Amino acid sequence: MLYLVGLGLSDETDITVKGLEVVKKASRVYLEAYTSILLVDQMVLEKYYERSIILADREMVESNSDEILRNAQDEDVAFLVVGDPFGATTHTDLVLRARELNIPVRTVPNASIMSGIGACGLQLYNFGQTVSMVFFTDNWKPSSFYDRIRENRQIGLHTLVLVDIKVKEQSLENLARGRMIFEPPRYMTVGQCAQQMIEVEEERKDGVCTRDSLAIGAARVGGKTEKFIAGTLEELCSQDDEFGPPLHSLVLLGRRAHELENDFVRHFAVDKEKWDRIWKEEYGKQ
């Protein structure tokens, strides 16, 4: 059996009882280590699980899945995923490959950012499409997120924006020369995300994510140092010191926001008077 085991959002104790039972009995345990991170390192997990763990980077998962699936017809293999196995990032390719080899697959779900973001005070059924924000470069500034946010805003729904993580990435030069030299890890911040959204807005000018659009920045959701800060996108551009270390994400409010949501979120506002004014002008109309 191949088991896809969700680890939750924060630390080693977030694994479910069912998931821990799978980890303890599996012949091999892999940790998917490129789409997200826990707030503790591998050694902490190994001590808590009382098992050695094999790090599975992007190359292994996407190009060498046969190694992960080796002998899984006859023994149990656990593939650990931060959050939920089919939450923000899906691993359908691995499941499809297992099916081709007639390997049974079972999923052990857990909390993900898709559900955990509810702690910011917005009601989950008022969210629309989730979008991703990647690091811009001088000559590459993808803006497809803008169109998805516009679709959400047209029907008044909130948008969860998942921000970029660069782990074990190669520079273009090293990639072209075939050198296995990797760049230091990079984690996008709320401020960087907000700034890029404003940058695209100033090019597109459709009023989707303006400097005065209300948003909530989130850091380390589900962890002991969880942090939420609410404000305009412009205000959030300068709050990174307050947010602290990764992982970050951002929510852009939709105009169907309920008064109860406002009452909850207002507590996190940088400038409560400014928040109240914009809320009444733009968001308080059903």
Q: Which of 69, 87, 111 is the last residue before a domain boundary?
A: 111
User: What are the strands of the beta sheet with 77-81, ordered from one edge?
Assistant: 54-56, 28-32, 77-81, 2-6, 105-108
Region 210-230: mean pLDDT is: 96
Q: Could you tell me which residues are annotated as the binding site for S-adenosyl-L-methionine?
A: 9, 84, 87, 112-113, 163, 221, 248
Average pLDDT of the chain? 91
71: domain CATH number is: 3.40.1010.10
Q: Which residues pair with 111 in a beta bridge?
A: none
Region 122-146: mean pLDDT is: 95
Contacts of 108 (CB under 8 A, 6+ apart): 3, 4, 5, 6, 16, 18, 19, 22, 85
Nearest 5°: the CA angle 261, 226, 18 is: 100
Distance CA 212, CA 198 (A): 10
Task: Give pLDDT, residue 284.
Answer: 66
Q: Could you tell me which residues are annotated as the binding site?
A: 9, 84, 87, 112-113, 163, 221, 248
Instruction: Quote the domain boundaries for residue 6.
Output: 2-111
Q: Does the pLDDT at position 175 exceed 90?
A: no
pTM for the whole structure: 0.91
Distance CA 272, CA 78 (A): 47
The number of domains in the chain is 2
In a shared domain, residues 91 and 121: no
Q: Does the pLDDT at position 286 exceed 50?
A: no
Distance CA 256, CA 30 (A): 42
> Do 206 and 270 meet the contact criterion of CB atoms below 8 Å apart?
no
Distance CA 91, CA 252 (A): 27
151: domain CATH number is: 3.30.950.10
What band does 56 get if pLDDT is binned at 50, 70 and 90? confident
Q: Does the pLDDT at position 174 exceed 90?
A: no
Distance CA 106, CA 16 (A): 14
